[in-house]
Amino acid sequence: MKLIALVKSVRAHPTLREIIGPLQSRSFQHDFVPRDPKAKPKKYKYPAFYDPYGPRPPPSDKIIQLAERIVALPPEERKQIGPTLSEKLRHPKLQTISVEGMDLGPQGGATAGAAKVEEKKEKTAFDVKLEKFDAAAKIKVIKEVRAFTNLGLKEAKDLVEKAPVVLKQGVTKDEANEIIEKIKTAGGTAVME
């Protein structure tokens, strides 16, 4: 009896299909609209240059008058504006860039010749370079390298195995000669650069 009442109540309620209606389906609709082959391409108007801060307001009348006064000055006085302004505004002075050691080629001119004359002066700092070593004396060479470079055993071994390699840079001539002698007695060949 209860079963019949349950079936009647379920039939009395409308089904989900009756509430919503027939199944709704949607086929794929792309957003891309094909271009008309006869249409001409759009022409965009680009600015002369890109300004990330956007358009700037026009200069004030004061600035325009100042610019006109500067233009009216003779060239000798115009050359004095830059240094005077930087002095008044306390801008740091620009440092000259050294071209020593740069190969400027034939266009170097007189400054390149002056730099070469300066190079002929006596060197005060030298580099010691390990050229080669005997395989039997490798351990002795590593010990000597450790003594004057303050490297660990592994680092000194790796350095020696990379020969030819610069062992020490910026040493005096006497110190470089001592290092070369020590490496020579240990069984290696070192040179001063």
Model confidence over 107-133: pLDDT tens digits? 655 555 555 555 556 677 788 888 888
Take residue 132 and report the two structure tokens written for it: 């080669």
Which residues in 62-81 are b (16+ Cβ under 10 Å) and which e? eeeeeeeeeeeeeeeeeeee
Residue 33 has pLDDT above 60, yes or no: yes
Residue 99 has pLDDT above 90, yes or no: no
User: Which pLDDT does position 93 carry in this prediction?
Assistant: 74
Q: Taking the model in full, what pTM does it have? A: 0.37
Largest separation between any pair of C-alpha atoms in the chain: 122
Nearest Cα to 184, choosing from 132, 109, 118, 146? 132
Residue 189 φ then ψ, to 5°: -120, 120
Tell how far CA 142 is from the center of its chain: 37
Residue 20 has pLDDT above 60, yes or no: no
Alpha-carbon gap, residue 148 to 92, rounded angstroms: 43
Take residue 129 and report the two structure tokens written for it: 């370079």
User: Which pLDDT does position 107 carry in this prediction?
Assistant: 60
Residue 139 has pLDDT above 80, yes or no: yes
- For the chain, give the mean pLDDT: 77
Alpha-carbon gap, residue 154 to 145, rounded angstroms: 11
In sequence order, the 6+-apart residues with CB closer than 8 A to the CB of 17 are 23
DSSP state of 125: -
User: Which pLDDT does position 92 carry in this prediction?
Assistant: 76
Residue 19 has pLDDT above 70, yes or no: no
Take residue 50 and report the two structure tokens written for it: 């890109």
Which helix (H) or strand (E) covers residue 190, if one does? strand 188-192
